[in-house]
Structure 1
Amino acid sequence: MQTQPDGLIAELQAKNPKAFERIYDRYSESTFGVINSVLKDKHLAEEVLQDVFVKIWNNAESYNSSKGRFFTWVLNIARNAAIDKTRSKAYKNKQKNLKAEYFVDIIEEKNSFSNKIDAIGIQKYINVLKPYCKKIINLLYFQGFTQAEASEELEMPLGTLKTRNRNCMNKLREILTN
């Protein structure tokens, strides 16, 4: 994993367009992977990716390195934007008229959790986690479930899911920092 580019981030926060281009080159592919894993629509994911990088440019000064890694901040923006898109009225209306190929893709992708986590470079870290952590991370961070939806899907009380999610994220953070 690359070291955090503090100088590059400072340049981005100073609104340097060259720094923005370098940030885009460095993070766009993995960010697109996260967005596309939630939306399952390449063209829509490309639109959301563009929106995400506009948000990064407009809100760069709100990033604080003491609260976490820049990459995590970027992925949170991307994940939230993708989830917001799935909750939009236009997206829901579009889903009502899906072609049969979409459902075939969903069936084929059902077991592609490892492909998704490998795409953003955390496969070896996720593999160390307990099976319930993998399920929770898959639902919350790669499929765009809310905590309430994941709780229902896993037939687990919401409080238990939140606690396990926090514990899983702490374990993942611990693995990544060692």
Structure 2
Amino acid sequence: MTMPLPSPRMRTRDLAEIGRGYVALAALASIAGFIAQDVLARTLFRDAGASAPIEIASSAGETWFILGNNLAFFALVSVLPVVNILMVVVQFLSLGRLAFTVQELPLDAQVNLLYRHTVFEVVALGAAVAISYLALFAIRDYANSEVRDTRGLLRRLGFAARLYVLVLACTVVGALLEGGAVVHL
């Protein structure tokens, strides 16, 4: 009779190591998105600079649309550990592409269009990834333990669930900032 291998309990350093991996991949994806947009712009337009006047304004309806999409995205990221890395990479490829697109604009326009809300979205995305791994490790440890510690499982899942408050707060602030962006050039 073979004994099941004991499951190592998740430690803070394990989650930190996973987080560092996600940050490295996000940085590489952003750089790749930036470079890809540069190559695409040069290939298609032969001039990547903005030449026409730009006026960007949004409405309250767009804010609610952005909020709904972001909440759904972060909820999905938070329940799909490991698979969510694909979602994170695509998100940061897009961020790099958008950073290239606004680079010719004045700094205040860049901040209004892209960077001021992105900070909150990145924090929400990081918290959603953390939730997914906290829940995965809690359930794995519970399933592999000989003694079923339901209270311990609920305590660990409760901690992960409290991070949803951070995700919700950052998502609301980010959507309000993104939906309220007004730039006239």
What TM-score results when the alignment is normalised by the length of structure 2? 0.28
Q: Please identify the structure whose Cα radius of gyration is greater.
A: 2
Greater relative contact order (Cα < 8 A, sep 6+): 2
